[in-house]
Every structure is written in structure tokens, then in C-alpha cells.
Amino acid sequence: MAYEVPPLPYAYDALEPVIDAETMALHHDRHHRAYVDALNKALEGHPDLQGKAIEALLRDLDAVPEAIRQAVRNNGGGHANHQMFWKIIQPGGAKRPSGAMAQAFNEAFGSFDAFKARFEEAGAKHFGSGWVFLVTHPGGQGLEILTLPNQDSVLPLKRPALLANDLWEHAYYLKHRNRRADYLKAWWEVVNWATVGDRLDAIRSGQEARLGGPAR
């Protein structure tokens, strides 16, 4: 069985003007596809690994033979990160966190607005390509912002992600050109806070498995 790019759950132009339709089409159909194709190629001849959910594959990179471990880390991470990204950004979603998610921001950062400023700053300061994540701990207590290079996933770190933004130029360059900070600021407009809150609820209730979406 091969890993697959899940269909984008909305139209390419649904996130205009923050993310333009051409960027969405290239990003989803070409960039995400390339990671999935390279992952499948790396795993040829490894049916035991091909049968794993992407989350399980990345949580246990040590089980991957050294000859293909870096390819799996890069391309499997690219698959997992983008699969989460398409779900977190949604047209017409909740514009602000509520309930437990809002409370968690107040406890960890003082306020939701203070969190947003810290997240933007971390993303803007990260040198080169990578991702900026909002993570919690297993069990869902405590929040922390971290950045990782390339397509590294938080899954090997055992730190569940609630939210992530893509810092690669392919995510923003057509529309925002070199102005990463502008992209980071505008991006909040397309985050669906209901989805992010659901992720926290799932982690706190021990139902992380349902964050994975399609099994493949």
C-alpha cells in the first residue's frame, strides 16, 4: 500500500486573499505530492513500514533502516506536516479560540494576542526553510512554541502539535514575495480555531488517533 495525498477539503481559491489559488494548487498538488512520491519510493521493498500509519512511522524513526531513514524523515515529515496544515487552515472557520484552548493560551502566554505575537516572532526569526509549531505534552497540558528545520515533524519528539505554519518560501512567495513576516501575520485569518480546539480536546481525552485523519 502506498501513502496518498488526501484531497484538499476546499477549493484552491477558498483562502483568498491570504493564500492565493495558484499557491494552493502548487503547494498541495505538486509539493505535497512530491514528498509522498519520494516517501513511497524510499519505502519500496519495505512492506512492514509501508503498512504503518504516517504518525506511527515517524514516532519510531529508529525502526527505519539507516539507509532510508533520512529520506523517510524528510519526506514522511513533509507528508505529515502538510496533511495537518490543510486541516488547520479552513475557509469560514472559527476566528478565535474558545473554551479550553482559549484558557490554555491565557495560562501559557498571558493572552491569545501575546501568543500570536510570539508565534509570529518565532516564525520570522527561523533561518531558512522549516515549520513553526504550537505543541503540547502528551496529555495536553502546557503549550510551547518551537521551530524545526526542513520538513522535520514533531512526531519523533513525542510532542503533539496543535497548530503549525509552513515557513518554506513555496508557502507564501507568489503572494507575499520575500515578506515572511507579512505572511505570518495575515495567516491568522485562515486558521480554523475550531479544528485547533478539537486537537487539544482529542489529546486531553486520549483520542490522539483521530487526529491522523485518513489512515494512509
Size of the site for Mn ion (CB under 5 A): 2
Shortest CB 106 distance to Mn ion, Å: 31
Task: Evaluate the omega torsion of the peptide bond into residue 17 and state whether it is cis, within 30 degrees of 0.
Answer: yes
3-state secondary structure of 112: helix
Residue, CB closest to Mn ion: 166
Q: Report the residue number, 68 or 80, with the smaller CB distance to Mn ion.
A: 80
| C-beta of residue 166 within 8 angstroms of C-beta of residue 129 | no
3-state secondary structure of 109: helix
Residue 86, amino acid = W
Shortest CB 82 distance to Mn ion, Å: 6
> 99 burial class (0-12, 13-18, 19+ CB within 10 angstroms)?
exposed
Contact code string over 167-186 relative to Mn ion, x by CB under 5 A: -x------------------
Shortest CB 23 distance to Mn ion, Å: 10
Shortest CB 208 distance to Mn ion, Å: 23
Concatenated DSSP letters of 183-202? HHHHHGGGB-HHHHHHHHHH
Contact positions with Mn ion (CB under 5 A) in 23-82:
none
Distance CA 206, CA 38 (A): 32
Q: Report the residue number, 24 or 122, with the smaller CB distance to Mn ion.
A: 24
Contact positions with Mn ion (CB under 5 A) in 130-169:
166, 168
Shortest CB 46 distance to Mn ion, Å: 25
Residues lying near Mn ion in the complex (CB under 5 A) are found at 166, 168
